[in-house]
Structure 1
Amino acid sequence: MKNPFKKKNKLYLSDKQPLTPLGVVGLGLTYLVLAIWVIAILWPLAQMIISAFNGKQEQYIMLNDNFEFSMEHFKYLFSETLYLTWVKNTLFISITTAIFTLIMVSFTGFAYSRYRFKGRKASLMAIMLIQTIPTFAGITAYFTMHSIISSIAPWFTRQLMLILIYSGGGIAGNTFILKGYIDSISSELDDAARIDGCSSMQVYRLIIMPIARPMLAIIALWSFIGPFMDYLLPRVLLTNPKSYTLAAGLFTLISDFRTLNQPAFAAGGLLTAVPIVTLFIVLQKQLVSGLASGSVKG
């Protein structure tokens, strides 16, 4: 006869069974693949940093050279190239793109989330389809648009055209993302604000935008990073070296024999990462909140 007072052993989901020999092999392979992946990422970064500070390298990066700490490649970058001009151009394009994208996306995301209007579903479907078209596919149309606009407004430069391309390309996808985030915010907050006498614009400004600030921070970061990472469009649209962005300008240090300097290119790539890493650190709290809180709102 079983003892009714005897406690039964309980199993919890956190309890793990001992690994079988096959499981040990699988775990070892997993760690091996992860180790190879880490080495594949960190090794080029380490070589870039070493080459940027190695004074024994001249035009080419030589991995077997002895290391001698020097800042001459950075001096070359600032004195013999248009690096500071490229930085200024990139910051102007990135900041303007981020601001313009944030303004447009905040309105469109709010409108698609909170209002029901004719053509809403069709336009949302169009937004999804737009993302399948590569930006570079419209290069001929971009040249035509710039020619038409610049003939009417001579101040409309190719850099401004680049800003419109980046902003226009980012509005569609970011609108869809922000709409999904705002959908997770309870509409009862809107109703309570309207009962208190708030207009639709006040609901947008005082209720929705403060709550959606983490997601807006993510959108701003994506919009800011885009011009730093893109090489193809600036290289095609910007014909004057003085108007180049960092990606297009630094590429001349490894593509043109007259200005070939691979260690200086490594130094420029290292400096290019500074504003992006700084922005990540500044927006760290907002980024984590935006990625984590969307699933628990409502």
Structure 2
Amino acid sequence: MKLFNRFNRDDLVINKKPLLPFLRFRKKERLYLSDRQPLTLMGILGLGLSYVVLFAWAFIIIWPLLQMVISAFNGKQGAYLMQNTNFEFSLKHFEYLFSETLYLTWVKNTLFISGATAILTLIIVSFTGYAYSRYRFKGRKASLMAIMLIQTIPTFAGITAFFTMHSIIASVIPQFTRQMMLILIYSGGAIASNTFILKGYIDSVSTELDDAAKIDGCSNMDVYRLIILPIARPMLTIIALWSFIGPFMDYMLPRVLLTNPQSYTLAAGLFTLTNDFRTMNQPAFAAGGLLTAIPIAVLFMLLQDQLVSGLAKGAVKG
């Protein structure tokens, strides 16, 4: 009221309308700390339902992982079945895994196949994605359509063709092993699918960068090496991770193509601990599955900075 004492009553009237209601409205408006209105009853119910669904989904994911961890370190766990028994910390299942199985050999085979698949996929996809994004050549649309249609065919449907291809190549190159054939299969599938992803990513990069580099005397290869690769590094990192993780998760193709236990991957090797009564040891299987996640987690932590490091590069200065 001290503010209003400085004015006469006539000063609070504008065009014969009192100014006081307007001031009261402005005073009430300041009570809101933000423009967001309070939740209604339906909004509260929807928010509660969202939390229930998220907690249920988290429980579905975490509960099997928790059981796997408990079984792997439970010394009172039987060798054949994973049962709810009293917990006693022990490493005997890990000792069995390293001493009684070919676990280290399976790890070596998987790392070799995964690393070779990731490197081969990364090299070829970086060229194909760049070519389909920046060049216009005859058969471009037809080849893209063919790649898309090939992806609809399940990989396992071509198992007969894979055996035939291996026989033909092995007759020419005796050193060509089934593991190398597996690398070609994984790489071929990854190249076809990831070409679309990288092409779409490079399409979002302005061609003005290419033109500016060519004015400075860069060739097409220099543009690819100096401009495109640094900008596309986050997407290339994701492609490398996907290609590396694939052989760790696949069971069917290694189990069919690799006939010697010495050449098994982790998925095929660990499965022998659950499907054969002579070698069955499900707690050891849980321990092996727990150790399998370590290389993937370490690789992700090492490369997570690369996922966003190239996003700020390639900006055109005005």
TM-score interval, normalised by the smaller of the two chains = over 0.9
2:5 match: none
1:277-292 mapped onto 2 (5 Å cutoff): 277-288=297-308
1:31 match: 51
Cα drift, residue 20 of structure 1:
2.6
- The yes-or-no answer on 1:160 pairing with 2:180 is yes
* Structure 1 SS opposite 2:36: coil
Cα drift, residue 288 of structure 1:
4.4
The 1-side partners of 2:135 and 2:305 are apart by 30
Quick check: 1:228–1:246 contact (8 Å CA) kept in 2?
yes
2:280 match: 260
The one-letter amino acid of 2:98's match is: F
* Structure 2 SS opposite 1:108: helix
Q: Deviations over 1:49-91 (max 9, x none)?
A: 1111111112134442111111111111011000000000000
Give the direction of change, closer, same or farther, for the CA distance of 1:38–1:288 in structure 2 (3 Å limit).
farther
Q: Deviations over 1:192-233 (max 9, x none)?
A: 111121111111111111111111111000000000000011
Quick check: 2:82–2:283 contact (8 Å CA) kept in 1?
no
2:68 match: 48
Quick check: 2:68–2:286 contact (8 Å CA) kept in 1?
yes
> What count of residue pairs does the alignment treat as equivalent?
294
Give the direction of change, closer, same or farther, for the CA distance of 1:297–1:259 in structure 2 (3 Å limit).
farther
* Structure 1 SS opposite 2:278: helix
The one-letter amino acid of 1:57's match is: Q
The one-letter amino acid of 1:119's match is: G
Residue segments in structure 1 that go unaligned for 5+ positions in a row: none
Cα drift, residue 297 of structure 1:
7.3
1:237 match: 257
The one-letter amino acid of 1:287's match is: L
Please give the TM-score of this superposition, normalised by the length of structure 2: 0.87
The 2-side partners of 1:275 and 1:224 are apart by 10
Quick check: 1:51–1:61 contact (8 Å CA) kept in 2?
no
2:122 match: 102
The one-letter amino acid of 2:125's match is: V
- The yes-or-no answer on 1:121 pairing with 2:141 is yes
Q: Deviations over 1:225-265 (max 9, x none)?
A: 00000001101111110000000000000111110000000
1:71-220 mapped onto 2 (5 Å cutoff): 71-220=91-240
The 1-side partners of 2:279 and 2:188 are apart by 34
The 1-side partners of 2:182 and 2:82 are apart by 36
Quick check: 2:82–2:282 contact (8 Å CA) kept in 1?
no
The one-letter amino acid of 1:210's match is: P
The 1-side partners of 2:164 and 2:126 are apart by 30
RMSD: 2.2
The one-letter amino acid of 2:274's match is: I
Quick check: 1:93–1:163 contact (8 Å CA) kept in 2?
yes
The 2-side partners of 1:92 and 1:121 are apart by 35
* Structure 2 SS opposite 1:167: helix
Residue segments in structure 2 that go unaligned for 5+ positions in a row: 1-16
Quick check: 1:57–1:263 contact (8 Å CA) kept in 2?
yes
The 1-side partners of 2:193 and 2:18 are apart by 64
The 2-side partners of 1:15 and 1:142 are apart by 62
The 2-side partners of 1:118 and 1:32 are apart by 54
Cα drift, residue 39 of structure 1:
0.7
The one-letter amino acid of 1:144's match is: T
1:22 match: 42
Quick check: 2:234–2:306 contact (8 Å CA) kept in 1?
yes
Quick check: 1:49–1:267 contact (8 Å CA) kept in 2?
yes
Cα drift, residue 28 of structure 1:
1.8
- The yes-or-no answer on 1:223 pairing with 2:243 is yes
Cα drift, residue 287 of structure 1:
2.5
The one-letter amino acid of 2:199's match is: K
Quick check: 2:233–2:307 contact (8 Å CA) kept in 1?
no
The one-letter amino acid of 2:103's match is: Y
Cα drift, residue 2 of structure 1:
5.9
Quick check: 1:185–1:297 contact (8 Å CA) kept in 2?
no
Cα drift, residue 102 of structure 1:
0.5
